Structure 1
Amino acid sequence: MKLSANIRRMRKEKGLTQEQVAQALGVTAPAVNKWERGASCPDLALLAPLARLLGTDLNSLLSFREELTGDEIARMTGELYEIAQAEGIDSAFRWAEARRQEWPGCDSLAVSLSMTLNGLLFTLAVEEPEPYRRRLGELNEALADSEDRDVRDQALHLLIGRHMEREEYGRAEELLGQLSDRWPYRDSLKAGLLRRTGRTEEAAELWERHLLNAATECYEALVSLQELALRAGELEAGRRLTALITETAERYAMPPGTAPAGRLQQAVAERDRDGALSALRALVEGLNQPWDDGGLYPHLNGGDATPVGAVLLPGMVKSIREDEELSFLRDDPELEAILAPFAPPDGTHRP
């Protein structure tokens, strides 16, 4: 971590303003601001007084060794858990603070310790957790300004949960806007905030989208796994995955035309004419049907009777006719009977 980030983080942890630091060191507030932005550095003569003011030492302030490995951090959080179980939460907090003082420039360690301590407050059923939560809040406020995006997101997550618990919804929403789009729990936090603030329709729509996206991701993973299994000649594994693909598409009311994908891949691998034709018929006919979401996605579907995949059909038909893996069906009149109603406008097809 850079000196500028260290000064900013340690100042916030001590609860000092830039003006207070400036006054204590006999410099101006803009000078401190420049230190924290990395636009300039403190004079050498100021480093020792600055370290004392921030409650640290020169080695820590200057971060001569900046980071720990992931394994080292995991071992420390594991040891923290064991100390909490054996000696109690107060000992755990003291031990964590000592590790932070030892590695002040390692934000990854700090946020891992914070998350572990936050969980321990719950699992140990601490009778008076508020003083500990305040200490964690101060740490997380500092970490929310970290240069490391993952650390920043983890700290913000903890802060948002804290503010929601205290019904400080305005501040929670403000912090929510600072989370990166890649944080996997962003939508969950947002939906929880919407629900708590009475915006239930928005929360429901968000959860429906989350469910459909998760189902789609699971479906795509199963289709890809089946493809890999079939390429390796593992037909029995392909059959098991076919059942899972169909079940996933039906259980989570995915848009029509998705369920037959596994059946089609399996039939092509086995050169099963009847199975392939049946799957193709279900696929193209499904794409020409309205989406029956089974009541799972009313805020997304809205009862629209328009066939969701109709716009895809001409291109889909052309792709099926040109797919070399389906060449064993190329001259089959039943295939043409299935595709003809949905053919591209120019009517092109294989003889």
Structure 2
Amino acid sequence: MQTRREKGMTQETLADMVGVSAAAVSKWETCASYPDITLLPPLARALGLSVDALLDFRRDPAREEQLAISSRLHQVFDDQGFDAGVRAVEAVLREYPHSGSIKLLAGALYYRYIAAALNRAEDTEQTASDITERCLALFEQGEQQSEETGEKQVSRSLRISMLTMLGRYEEAEALIDSLPPKQGIDSDELRLSLYLAQEKLTEAEQLARRALLTHVGEVSTALMSLTTIARRQKAFAAAHRLVDAYRAVDALFGLDRSNGLLLGIMLAQDEGDQAQALDLFEQYIDTRLAYTLDYRDNPFFAAVQTHVPTRNDIIETHRLTLRAIEEDERYAPLRDEPRFQAALDHLRAAIPAEN
């Protein structure tokens, strides 16, 4: 109706142009009935629209709508569980079947909440396989269908990470090889300098804090990798220096200290120091239980946290930690130790019984 009026057309004029009665046009505009599918092309031509525009077809939801969809889907997973979350996600995928943004969101949600699925699965191996394959498919489709370079890069990065985790190394390396080379220009650094020159201090602060979080994560990842290399080379003195550096970074920036303790446990076991491994394991469990992944009080990163973990998020993380410890053969030398079992019981006690 709005387009017809903007073009100065009466219902009778439009009816004559497409070969129907004015009464039929009136019913379309009041939603009392809808035009036959064969009338869509002439109706679109008469109004100067594409058929997609006539039908209000959108490949991607608007940014605000995407945020609302993401928030709603997170809420379903948190409040109603994984199966309900899957049903809600698949309904959104049917509504936007060609949206790369929605495919990326769906895959990320499945990946995020996989712990909830595994904690309730009878066949965890098959469930993990099914979910990871679904994630891989969604990330691949997301990359193909997205119109934004950033989303394409995130989708490919997630595929590479998952393929590596699954041991599909050749596929992962082929994707890495297909990535465009770094151009040596960091647009965020240039933008930050621009904001500072313009005295846009709020924007500059937000960008600088995001950059800090990214770079601290990169430093931690590099230190973890170097520690693993040193351990495998049995260069234990170097490994200790690297673990100390890793833990110092976490302490300085108020990050999760449990990963540094985990590195220490593995190193102590490499050296055959069971007493030290048990000391660190007890600290590891206490740290996992105390840490909430909530950066709102963090002086460095409070302003850049996009999702505050819920209580259900934290409980699922505890369940995943427990399962990982129970299944990880690296803990085999410690399993018969009373201190190990006591620490594990402490973790179990923090996890509510499932309904």
Fold shared by both chains (TM-score > 0.5): no
TM-score (norm 2): 0.41
Larger Rg computed on CA atoms = 1
TM-score (norm 1): 0.41
